[in-house]
């Protein structure tokens, strides 16, 4: 079944909502309450935007594309969660963090992983409900999500910026006061040691 829900990044201001390797999604509460059983699981499918149309839902958990396959398959599945975690009655956190597990990649590719995204994308995501006999329902694909680009070290200007004469004068005065204070403290310690 195709559900009308469209995953999206929260519109509100949120710390770290989109970074160079992660992004946040709204929690899909009350989306999967119909046509699902308590034993069903919900997966998040993450794909490069230009590869989302080519993605085919896996027939079973054994066919789930893994995080390590993203560079070649251009998609993977993550955040496997029991369907009841997204029910209307379930207490929920505000967002889902995609790409938040920095320990991914060292497990030999045997388990689903929510590892950092390797490039700015853009990415598209959808939620997929899977039961014992394969896929049961899915949401629509999100709009493209573009991550922030990390600042390249080559863009940093190695030359110090020019400071105004006022800043230089204030810096000199503070340095002189600091030196005078250091001399006074050392003198007091030296004087106290002679008694």
Residue 181 sits in the same domain as residue 123: no
Distance linking the first and last C-alpha atoms of the chain: 90
Please spell the DSSP secondary structure of 131-192, one letter per residue. ETTEEEEE-PPPPPBPPPPPPPGGGS--SPPP--HHHHHHHHHHHHHHHHHHHHHHHHHHHH
Residue 89 and residue 177 in one domain: no
110 and 173 belong to one structural domain: no
Least confident among 50-59, 80-89, 156-165: 156-165
| Two structure tokens written together for 16 | 């770290």
- The domain in which residue 185 lies consists of 164-192
CB atoms inside a 10 Å sphere around CB 64:
20
Between residues 121 and 160, which one has the greater pLDDT? Answer: 121
In a domain, 159, yes or no: no
Quick one: 6 and 89 in the same domain?
yes
Work out the average pLDDT over 13-41: 89
Same domain, 109 and 137: yes
Give the residue among 160, 183, 159, 163 at the shortest CA–CA distance from 172: 163
Within this chain, do residues 73 and 108 fall inside the same structural domain, yes or no?
Answer: yes
Q: Say whether pTM exceeds 0.85.
A: no
Distance CA 156, CA 53 (A): 39
Identify whether residues 131 and 177 lie together within a single domain. Answer: no
- Is residue 9 within 8 Å of 18, Cβ to Cβ? yes
Based on the domain organization, do 116 and 171 belong to the same domain? no
**In whole angstroms, what is the distance from residue 19 CA to residue 165 CA?**
38
Q: Say yes or no: 145 and 169 in one domain.
A: no
Question: What is the model's pLDDT at position 181?
Answer: 52
Outline where 34-97 has alpha helix (H).
Answer: 70-73
**22 and 96 housed in the same domain:** yes
CA distance 27 to 95: 5
pLDDT of 95 reads 87
Of 88-97, 138-147, 148-157, the range with the lowest mean pLDDT is 148-157
């Amino acid at each position: 079944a195709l559900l009308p829900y469209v995953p999206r990044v929260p519109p509100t201001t949120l710390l770290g909502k989109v970074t160079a390797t992660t992004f946040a999604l709204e929690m899909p509460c009350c989306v999967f309450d119909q046509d699902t059983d308590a034993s069903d699981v919900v997966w998040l499918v993450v794909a490069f935007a230009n590869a989302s149309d080519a993605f085919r839902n896996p027939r079973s958990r054994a066919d789930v594309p893994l995080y390590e396959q993203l560079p070649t398959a251009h998609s993977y599945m993550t955040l496997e969660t029991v369907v009841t975690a997204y029910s209307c009655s379930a207490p929920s956190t505000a967002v889902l963090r995609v790409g938040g597990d920095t320990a991914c990649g060292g497990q030999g590719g045997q388990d689903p992983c929510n590892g950092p995204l390797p490039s700015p994308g853009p990415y598209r995501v959808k939620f997929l409900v899977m039961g014992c006999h394969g896929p049961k329902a899915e949401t629509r694909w999100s709009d493209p999500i573009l991550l922030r680009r990390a600042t390249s070290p080559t863009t940093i200007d190695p030359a110090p910026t020019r400071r105004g004469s006022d800043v230089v004068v204030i810096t000199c005065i503070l340095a002189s006061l600091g030196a005078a204070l250091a001399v006074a403290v050392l003198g007091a310690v030296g004087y106290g040691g002679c008694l």
